[in-house]
Each structure stands twice: as structure tokens, then as C-alpha cells.
A and B are shown apart, each in its own frame.
Chain A
């Protein structure tokens, strides 16, 4: 258990207090309305025909059989897309519906609307697509030399980062090649939405997503409609973790609703969901670390290759992160990092919690342990010796101006006492319910890892969020398009509003494109800073308007007026008015909040590309059954750099959840792809940790060093928990097994290493 005291505040929670989620109880009791629960009495059901081939030319598509089925209202193909056929987050390179070629298994080819899901299924089965199957390009290492599988070519982005003196050689050098498998975000609520045609010829879409305005803009272009005629509203989101940053069924639903003139609902099946969203990039990484004999890091060389799959998605930004954070949170005077993300006929990859930094953390932390071994040095001491701190330069040449408590997260994490209680319950041993081990079969391992990444969008992207604060009768209403995907904006927006305006009651209006400007994406650990910042500024603007109005109406000195606990009082003591009375006439402010500008990197990967960074460390203790290769993570301890803790309860949830995804990647989570085909598109075979696999997360420390420029000094906290957790677990497995384990997830066969085994 954690030391964090979760207490219910006496009044409605403000900044720094634990605010329980308003949707918490409804979700646990099953009454929360997810986007898959949307309903309209006149609605049709939609469905998608997907390519069974990873690579094929489409010779013809015959929809006549499907159209002839009673109850089928529409069967649409690429020829029915009125606007741009292509869409994409960074580059429009993915067709709304495949035209003459399919580039991955599961690519959308046709869509159907009908009166019943069963009719949809029959209609999809009746569409005849003549495919000329071609050999898929599945090896990312071969992609650049291979025949282009897309007009944009097979190299999505390469970054060459050269930092410092390129001739430095270390007396001690260690080298390693590491591999990370394809992880899925494994959200529980499959892609789903409901589209309604509007009277003005436009369309409304209720959908679960991470970024309403980006979705809206991409879809509007495909529909050939002005953005204002395409109105998106956030519906109940069942998890995201990056998988909802790209479009999935958005354009399809809008097309079907516009074509049929009727509301259309679509819900992906679990299997379809695995094909319907991007995954974490699989990575192959080669490293060489140079150090002097005292353990000072001198230089890091690395070659990173990420498999982007068939379409670009956010691959360009992912490889930028992987490259920039390739060597970890250490001060390194010289580096040569080559990062490439390539196109293949494998499933498309894009955003997932940790965004490029997860993969490289597996590599750089394994290298640090290897280097410590080569030096005969304690691995913690080696890390502390080289830990980044505020004022240091990154490999991009950027100086860290904010907080960088790397040593603090490491020290507090490793110094935290272990609370492990020995258990002789067979269920608590590796193998769990399978009862495969007795205590004397088990060996224990322990290790730590540290990681970091950027917060907010980088490389010159004009990143902003918008919020409207409306104050009347002492009640504040906040309108912001920030997608609540579980991260806790719904509590935070209220806490911030109460803090700034001193109100008790705060209403959150629905997140929608029609009522407010973009909030940007719920990703990159950015919404607490960006939309939190927008809400803060909007509330401050309203406060200023209010105080000016009161000063004017009551002829009091504006500089003497303050807003405290629902009262406007004059510091000179001769004036007081309660907020409800003062706001019978409404006040409103609509603001856009931008973070400090960033800049693109130059041809050597150098530049001030990022705003801020967050750091975390994990210590893992694992039990291993070496003979069977089964494992159990028995303890996980973490410290994280949070700037300032705004909602302790929510923060604990983020640290636990992120670590759980990290444990999953370390020991079980992998989308298995063979010849471009997913072999485990179900929760039967895509395994995520259960309660028997995930230990309680011990939070050693929240390091609170307020971040300059961040609202309330708070850093985003969503991603760091999933960065170093994987690396710590795999390092502990190395400690227990004495195996090199260069690949995650670590499989039983990697530990057992049978001579006649060819996995």
C-alpha cells in the first residue's frame, strides 16, 4: 500500500486535494454510458468490410449482392467518398476506404448500413472483392531497400542526431541489440459511435476519441464539407492510451449517415478493434555506450528502427521521441543516434502511452546495467553519477530549464524499504492458479530503471487549448473540448475553477467542436498543463472582469478587491459581497492557451524541440521459475517527478495503471504478427496482467519541484509510469535468471532456452 493519504475534503476539492471521479461509481456499477451504449430509435447499424490480406491489389468490388439484401440501406466504397480519399494525423496517406490496393490485414474496403447488425453481417459477406494477392513487405530492416508499397515511399522518417565531439571513444565500451514487440493499448471500450445527419446538410458524430477537433478537421476534408458543418461531441470513452488518436470509424459513420439520411451506429467487435487502431511500434535497437573508467558516460551510439506498419499515423513524432530520448536521462557529451521509422505491410503503429520513450528505455537501461557490470560498479551509483539535472544539455543540445530531479527519483525509489511479506500460498508463486511451482523452485531478482520523456507537443507544433468560463449566480460552467479518456480532467477542471473563483459548484459542459475551440489531444501528458492552463486562464479572466465590474459598480478600489471563499472583499475591510449576488449578471471569458514555443531540430537533430520533461524510476522485484520460464512480479516501487500534485487520488491511479501496462509489456503483452497477420486479436490470446500478475504499486515519492511555466507548477503524469516500469521488470528478470533477455516481452522460452526450440 501507498503512504498517500486519501481523505475526502470537507468542502468540494480544490487544487492539491483528492477529488473522486464523478464517473467512478457509475463505471464500477455498470451504469456509465459508453459510446457503445448510444442509441437512436430510428438508427441503422453500420459495419466495415476489411481486407483479409496484408497486401493485395483490388481488381474489382461488386456490391450488388449486398445491396439486394432486404434491410440494407447503403453499401459504400472509395468511389462514394466525396472529398479527399486520404486522411492522417501527420500526413494524409491512409485511404478512408481502400481504392486499388490494400496495405495491411484489416484495412477498410467497404462500409454498410442496414437495419440490424445481423443484416450488416450478411451484407458484408455478400460483397465480392477480387483481390490479386501480392507478397507482403513485413521485415522493417528490408523496407528501405524494398519496392515502395505506397506512393510516399517506405521511409516514413529518419532522424540523425549528432551531438558533441564525434571522435570521442570511451575506454569502456558496451554494446547490445534489443528488441521490443508490438504492444496494444488494450482499452476495454471498443471503437464505437453514432452519427446523425443534420438539417443543414452537415453531420453530427458522437464518438469516443482523444482529439475532437483534429478528428473533425480530418473528416470534414474527406466529406468535402466545411468544418462548421461537421460537429463532433465526445461520448463515453472506455480507455484510449493513444489508440484513439487516429480516426477509426469516424469518417465511415459520417459517410453512412449523410448517404442514408438516418442516424447510424457502429461498434467494433474486439477482434475488429485489434485491426481498427494503431499499436505501439515494435523496435529493434542497437546501442554502444562509451564511458571512462570512473563511470562517466562519454558517448552513446545507437541505431533505432521502428516498424510503422502500412500508414504514417504519428510515426514521425514517435521516432523523434525515440531518437531524442534514446540514451535516457543522463548527461552525455557526445552522441550519434540514427532513428528510422519505416513502412511495411504490418499493422499500422502510432501513439501509445510513452510514445517512443518506452522502447528506448528498454535499450538504454539494459545498456546502463551492462556498463555497470563492465565497470564493476553499482548500477544505481552509475546512474546517479550521470543523472541529468536542471541546466544540463540533452542530446538535442537543448538546455533543461525546468525541474529535472533524476537523482531524486532514483534515490527515493531505491531507498524505499521493501514491504514484501513472504507467502507460501502456491497461487502467489510464478504459475499462479496453475500450481506449477513449489517455493524451492523459485529464484528472486531485483533491479531498477529510470526513464523520461517530453511533455506536450514538440518540434514547433503550435500547441494550444481553449476554454470558456461562464459565471452566473455563483455557479461556474466550464466549456472545453478536452477529451476525458480517464486521465481526470473532469475533476481537475472543477478543482482549478474552485481554486481561482472560490466557487463551490462547477458545471462541465459537454466536450464538443461546435461550442468551443480545440483543446488539442489528450496525449503527450499534456491536458493537465494545456487544458488545465486554459481553464485557469479563463477563470482568471472572469475573475478580473468580475472584480472590475464590482469596483466600478460599488466605487471601490480595484486593487483592494479579492475573491475569497465565495466572497468578494476589499482588503481595506469596508466592503463585502457574496459571489452569487455579485454574479446575477453573467460573466464569460473564452481564451486560448499556448505553451512556450518550440522549434524544429536541424539536420543534426539539434534544437530546442521540447517544452518540458518528466522523469520516473521503478524498482522491480520478480520471482522466476527458471525451469518453466514462468514469472511473477512481486513488488514494484516507483518515484515520479510530478511538479506539483494536483489530485493525489488520481495521481496514484495513473502511477498504478501506467506501471501495469509496463509490467504487461515486460512479461506478456504482444500483438503477434506473422507474415502481416495478427494471430491473437482477442483478449483470450492478447494477455494483459490480472490481479495475480500485477503487484501493488508502492509509491516511494512524488517529487514535487514546481515546473516553471506550468499551471500550478504541475507536470503531466500519465506517461512516465509506463516508461521505466518495463525496463525495471526485465532487468529484475535478468538478475534472477542471469540470462541476457534482449527482447520484451520476455517469453517463457526466452528464460528456459531449450536447445531444440525455434519459437
Chain B
């Protein structure tokens, strides 16, 4: 087994070119658990990417936020980031303990591509673009094309997740996550609601209720067309229908963390509540 501590993006890409199937180690908060459990015993090459300056931090370019793959959850929690990406900041806060949030990264969340990945429903609702780079060049994929299944993504051998592009907040954003503990808990169901005031659109991302993050188009459409955008209000009936449509779009399973029925129910409740936070519920 060899371990390369990459000091630059080029260094990482060259090494990855020579070892296209190398394991990418960022914060290690998922990978080390797998290694400790013996699931990855035949690993040959590891490339540590957490010291690559090009992957660190985030910047704003016009209305787009360019997030480095090495952006940590702790950095996402900070107020300057929360001001332009509130839902992602809220999602970051729900990840593990402070120690885990100091180590874990956005790129790692995408690389692991767990159905319970906390940032994934937010990225889905934001129509995030994932920027991949290899020694040969770069390509970009929409988030829903990037995540291809349970712990599967479209990253090819030799490719590295370099950046994630999202729009800066254009309106109210909400992230909610269900767990049987009030902190440090793996998601049982999660939901992101993103309001785009300019385009009068509401986008919804569902997490942990399907193999990949889901975008309930019908629910989004129903809410977007029925919101009173001038008054920023919404009727109770619209909220109810939005809730029903969001729940119907979930594709949850039963497992030791929760039942499919509860997950579906929770999506409906969270959908209604987050929409009621974004828009004032009209009194009958």
C-alpha cells in the first residue's frame, strides 16, 4: 500500500493518472470508518487531498458560489458562508460532532454519495454543478447526474472532484433533518427548500428517502405556481397539497434507522413546515 500526500492539484492528478483506481482521502470521516470495519482491505494506493491549496475554501463569482471540494463542514457553518448559502450551512451543522465537522468535506460527502449524505438534498435543490478534473481535462455534471445510486457516483477512474458550483441565495432557504437524537445523528429523512425569488420558483430536495437525492417536480410546481409572490403568502390548502406531493415523491426503505412509512410521513411534515417558514400562511 502506498499513500501520497498531494501538495498541489497537479501532484494529485498526476498520481491519480498513474493510479486511476486510487482511493481519495479527504477528511477521512467516512473512509476511515470503512477501513476500520475491514471493508476496504485490499486498497493499494491512497491519495490524501486535504492539503491541496486549490481545493480549499470557497469564493463568490457574481451570483455563483465556487466551493472547493476540500471545503469543510466547519467552514460551511460560518456566518459569512451562511449568509449566501443558508441551507448548506444548516445542513453542515447537522453533520456529526465538531471534530467530524472540522475534518469532513463537501467533496467527501459527494464522493461517498451515501443516501444519507447531509449536503446532497441541498445540492440537489440548488441544481449544483459538480466540477471534475483529471490529468486529461475537466468536465461538469449536474448533481443529479453525478450521484448515480447508493454510494455510487459518476466520477471516473483518474478523476478528482475539484469544485461545486451553486447559486448564491436568491431568497429563503431551509434545511431540515430527522434523527432520533438531537445532534450527531445519521439522517433518517432530510429536506431542503430553496426559494428563488427572481424566477418565482421553489425547489425542493429530499434526502435519505431514495437511493439518490430526489427533486419532487410536481410538489415544486404546485407550490411555485400557487404562492402569492407579491405578498409572499401561501394558502393552507396549497401547503397541504405541497406536503402530500412531496411525501408521495419519496422512495424510502425500511432499515434499522427508521421505517419507510415514517420517512415518507416525515418528508410531508418537513415540506409543509419549511414552506410555512418561507411564506406566510394565509389565514382563512
Contact = CB atoms under 8 A, between A and B. Distances in A.
A667 B181 CA distance: 9
A749 B259 contact: yes
A752 B262 contact: yes
Contacts, number: 98
Contacts of A754: 261-262, 265
Given A433-B93, A748-B262, A757-B259, A628 B179 contact: no
B251 to A, nearest CB: 15
B270 A436 contact: yes
Among A431, A437, A748, chain B packs the most CB atoms within 10 A around the CB of A748
16 contacts: A427-B182, A434-B178, A435-B176, A628-B266, A628-B269, A630-B178, A672-B256, A690-B182, A691-B183, A747-B180, A749-B258, A749-B262, A757-B259, A757-B261, A758-B259, A759-B259
B273 A687 contact: no
A431 B178 contact: yes
B262 A757 contact: yes
A689 B184 CA distance: 10
Given A433-B177, A434-B94, A434-B179, 6 more contacts: A271-B37, A430-B182, A432-B183, A436-B269, A684-B33, A752-B262
Contact of A687 (B38, B94, B180, B266): B180
Interface of A: 121, 269, 271, 427, 430-438, 441, 627-630, 632, 667-668, 672, 679-680, 684-685, 687, 689-693, 747-749, 752, 754, 756-759
Interface in B182-236: 182-186, 188, 190
**Consensus secondary structure, chain B interface:** mixed
- For A269, A436, A684, A749, the residue with the greatest tally of chain B CB atoms inside 10 Å of its CB is A436
B185 A687 contact: yes
A363 B80 CA distance: 51
A748 B93 CA distance: 22
Given A433-B182, A436-B273, A668-B181, A685 B265 contact: no
A627 B269 contact: yes
B176 to A, nearest CB: 5
Interface in B242-264: 256-259, 261-262
Given A627-B269, A672-B256, A752-B262, A693 B178 contact: no
A438 B277 contact: yes
Interface of B: 33, 36-38, 41, 90, 93-94, 174-186, 188, 190, 256-259, 261-262, 265-266, 269-270, 273, 277
Contact of B41 (A121, A685, A752): A121
A747 B262 CA distance: 11
Nearest to B181: A687
**Most chain B C-beta atoms within 10 Å of own C-beta, residue among A269, A628, A667, A684:** A628
Nearest to B261: A757
Contacts of A432: 181-183
A690 B181 contact: yes
B277 A690 contact: no
Contacts of A684: 33, 186
Contacts of B177: 433-436
A442 to B, nearest CB: 12
A440 B217 CA distance: 29
A460 B38 CA distance: 48
Contacts of B266: 628
Contacts of A632: 182
B256 A692 contact: no
A565 B33 CA distance: 56
A433 B262 contact: no
B12 to A, nearest CB: 26
Contact of A680 (B36, B179, B256, B270): B256
A436 B178 contact: yes
B261 A436 contact: no
A754 B93 CA distance: 29
Closest 5 CB pairs of A and B: A432-B182, A434-B177, A692-B182, A757-B261, A692-B183
A366 to B, nearest CB: 21
B256 A690 contact: no
Name, among A432, A684, A690, A747, the residue most crowded by chain B CB atoms within 10 Å (CB to CB). A432
Nearest to B190: A434
A470 to B, nearest CB: 44
A435 B179 CA distance: 11
A634 to B, nearest CB: 11
B228 to A, nearest CB: 21
A685 B259 CA distance: 15
B244 to A, nearest CB: 14
A667 B186 CA distance: 16
Contacts of B273: 436-438, 441
Given A752-B262, A757-B259, A758-B259, A433 B183 contact: yes
Contacts of B188: 748
A693 B182 contact: yes
B81 to A, nearest CB: 17
A486 to B, nearest CB: 22
Contact of B180 (A427, A437, A748, A758): A748
B265 A693 contact: no
B186 A690 contact: no
A420 B249 CA distance: 41
Contacts of A269: 36
Nearest to A684: B186
B181 A689 contact: yes
Contacts of A756: 261
B182 A431 contact: yes
A274 to B, nearest CB: 13
Contacts of B190: 434
B5 to A, nearest CB: 21
A116 to B, nearest CB: 13
B90 to A, nearest CB: 6
Given A434-B178, A627-B269, A690-B181, A685 B186 contact: yes
B206 to A, nearest CB: 14
A253 B183 CA distance: 38
B181 A435 contact: no
A114 B9 CA distance: 40
B257 A685 contact: yes
A556 B181 CA distance: 69
Contacts of B182: 427, 430-434, 630, 632, 690, 692-693
A628 B180 contact: no
A672 B93 CA distance: 27
